[in-house]
Amino acid sequence: MVTGERIAEILEGYDDLVMATVCSHSSLQIFHGARQEGFRTLGIAIGQQPKFYDAFPRARPDDFLIVDAYEDLPRHAEELVDMGAVAVPHGSFVEYLGAKAFVDLEVPTFGNRRVIGWESDRDKQRYWLSQAGVDMPAKIDNPDAIDHPVFVKYYGAKGGRGAFIAKNYDDFLEHVDKSQPYIIQEYVVGTRYYLHFFYSPLGKEGYRLSKGTLEVLGVDRRDESNIDEMYKLGSQEGLKKLGVYPTFVVTGNIPVVLRESLLPKAMEMGEKVVEASLDLFGGMIGPFCLETIVTDQLQFKVFEISSRIVAGTNLFVAGSPYSELVEPGMSTGRRIARELRRAEETGTLLKVVS
């Protein structure tokens, strides 16, 4: 991992920060938000300059860095530093580059890189969430003990790819790919809510934590193919006979609001997860998402945490029903830029960049 001293040394040489990210996932929102806060922007792309930004002029990066493959990015670190880049991680950025290469990248990065090790290993993630005291789906250690529906998934942000439901041991054996690390969770029946938070270590006003403040900037639900539409063809059991199996590949996002009585619980969960992160690894800075299922007993079960901007925030480029109540027009992308700006102005960049 790059040391804090090295990042401090690089930042000393910076005049104007440029917000840089990989051209995918939530890049339109990040570039748009950066512009709103007066930053220049840099898009990192493979092979050639992507044309689709021409369709979105207010979110088009000012410059591009074109690389042959994401794995080559570490070799472009010096170039990025010469441009004054601060990398803004998102799910695809970390997944394409690989968690290890990401934490070693010698470019200042928004947030605390130490979070990546805690998030990308599902067992460590579980330890963190259990230290926070939030409810999670039960973990099944022994697959031959499967006697009720379980959910099997692999490590890393794969947009649901490869995950499957097993109702017994035979189901599990039929679908599992043992060459990759996986975990088995109890399948929780309920409604899925993906809660978008922002933790600011610099914040002084608002929903206060032991250090800094917590905001909720939106909530979405993911549209997953083919599970979300397969009911139209009949029961899953019937479809199985035809060789059609449920898959969980994220294809889009739907905005939601929580019933208001769930909001205090949501804030409390966000608070506990941040406080645990402060104790365990110095804090998860900036945006994060608690991926939850709410049961008919109105209990949240957190099945995953994403410790950076999630693509569901793209719904709220112009603000959400929650961010409207903090500052109109505030997206998560813009909130990242605002935090960088505040840190720059108060000489506290090292509190939000690593």
Positions that interact with ligand AMP (CB under 6 A): 137, 151, 153, 160, 163, 185, 187-188, 192, 222, 224, 248, 291, 293, 303-304
Q: Whole-number minimum distance, CB 103 to ligand AMP, in Å? A: 21
Q: Whole-number minimum distance, CB 332 to ligand AMP, in Å? A: 18
Contact of 86 with 93, CB cutoff 8 Å: no
Q: Whole-number minimum distance, CB 87 to ligand AMP, in Å? A: 23
Q: Quick one: 137 or 218, whose CB is closer to ligand AMP?
A: 137
Q: Whole-number minimum distance, CB 18 to ligand AMP, in Å? A: 31
- For the chain, helix (H) and strand (E) counts, in that order, are 12, 13
From the number of C-beta atoms within 10 Å of its C-beta (0-12, 13-18, 19+), residue 155 rates as middle
Q: Whole-number minimum distance, CB 284 to ligand AMP, in Å? A: 17
What single-letter DSSP state applies at residue 249?
E
Q: Quick one: 97 or 311, whose CB is closer to ligand AMP?
A: 311
Query: Cα separation of 292 and 305, whole Å?
Result: 9
Query: Cα separation of 88 and 44, whole Å?
Result: 11
Q: Whole-number minimum distance, CB 158 to ligand AMP, in Å? A: 7
Query: Cα separation of 64 and 41, whole Å?
Result: 9
From the number of C-beta atoms within 10 Å of its C-beta (0-12, 13-18, 19+), residue 228 rates as middle
Q: Quick one: 188 or 352, whose CB is closer to ligand AMP?
A: 188
Q: Whole-number minimum distance, CB 341 to ligand AMP, in Å? A: 32
Contact of 50 with 29, CB cutoff 8 Å: no
Q: Quick one: 139 or 272, whose CB is closer to ligand AMP?
A: 139
Q: Quick one: 58 or 148, whose CB is closer to ligand AMP?
A: 148
| Cβ neighbours of 168 (radius 10 Å) | 15
Q: Quick one: 39 or 288, whose CB is closer to ligand AMP?
A: 288
Q: Quick one: 44 or 269, whose CB is closer to ligand AMP?
A: 269
Q: Quick one: 65 or 188, whose CB is closer to ligand AMP?
A: 188
Q: Quick one: 213 or 226, whose CB is closer to ligand AMP?
A: 226
For residue 19 the two structure tokens come to 């917000």
Q: Whole-number minimum distance, CB 53 to ligand AMP, in Å? A: 28
Query: Cα separation of 64 and 42, whole Å?
Result: 5
Q: Whole-number minimum distance, CB 32 to ligand AMP, in Å? A: 25
Peptide bond into 226 cis (omega under 30): yes
Query: Cα separation of 312 and 286, whole Å?
Result: 16
Gyration radius of the chain's alpha carbons: 20
Following DSSP, what letter does each residue of 134-157 receive, concatenated? Answer: ---PPB---GGG--S-EEEEESS-
